[in-house]
Amino acid sequence: MKTIGMIGGMSWESSLEYYRLLNTGVKSALGGLHSAKTLMYSVDFEEIEALQHKEDWGELSRQMTEVAIMLENAGANMLMICTNTMHKMADDVQKNIGIPLLHIADAAAEEIKRRGFHTVGLLGTRFTMEQDFYRGRLKDRHGIDVIVPESREMDIVHRVIYNELCLGELKDKSRALFRNIISELEKAGAEGVVLGCTEIPLLIKQKDVDIPVFNTMELHAAEAVRLSIREAV
């Protein structure tokens, strides 16, 4: 079994769920007392969040690369960045390590294509929704069109992520707001919705909305499990 390197802590609430998903996935596949071989470096998200909102992506790229090299040197055979937004620097990180980085958008795209969909809505931080590093990858690499909310709705999603979900707060009022936003994306032509922030699945489940939900955290973890046990099954 291969060892999965994880850059976590962004936020630790979703990293905790990542750890559960990896271990339950390996146990389900191999049975018995099997569990995932993992190495996690958990950052201080307060520091990361401050740099994100300063848009100091160069420093963030340097930090993510430094951690990735540490994990590779510690014995990781593959790398996961356990958050969507920080995949903005995924290409820079990959250039500086000798192990594969499992891109979260690719994991989502494979499931979207498997379901036969061509147009999806995207929810995430404003960085993820507005910038091209995520939307562009879905379109250019996978041929998937992406619809994002209007600016006012982006503000709502962004605020709830940082001010509530990353603090472990799940509010019914915010769930209702997200449901309305997803409904608007459906009206705009979305066949499904990508939960492009690893905290959003803590709030929104498939039962909450009418269109298919793509839980990027689950899909990312499932791909890591598949690759880690490929030679063991």
The residues carrying an active-site annotation are: 83, 197
Contact 128, 90 (CB under 8 A): no
C-beta atoms surrounding 95 within 10 Å? 9
Contact 182, 193 (CB under 8 A): yes
Contact 69, 97 (CB under 8 A): yes
Q: Distance between terminal CA atoms of the chain? A: 9
For tokens 């620097």, what's the residue? 89
Alpha-carbon distance 42 to 34, whole Å? 24
Alpha-carbon distance 108 to 130, whole Å? 18
Could you tell me which of 4, 70, 8 has the C-alpha nearest to residue 37?
A: 4
Query: Helix, strand, or coil here: 207?
Result: helix
For tokens 């401050």, what's the residue? 50
Q: Between helices 12-30 and 216-228, what is the axis angle to 10°?
A: 40
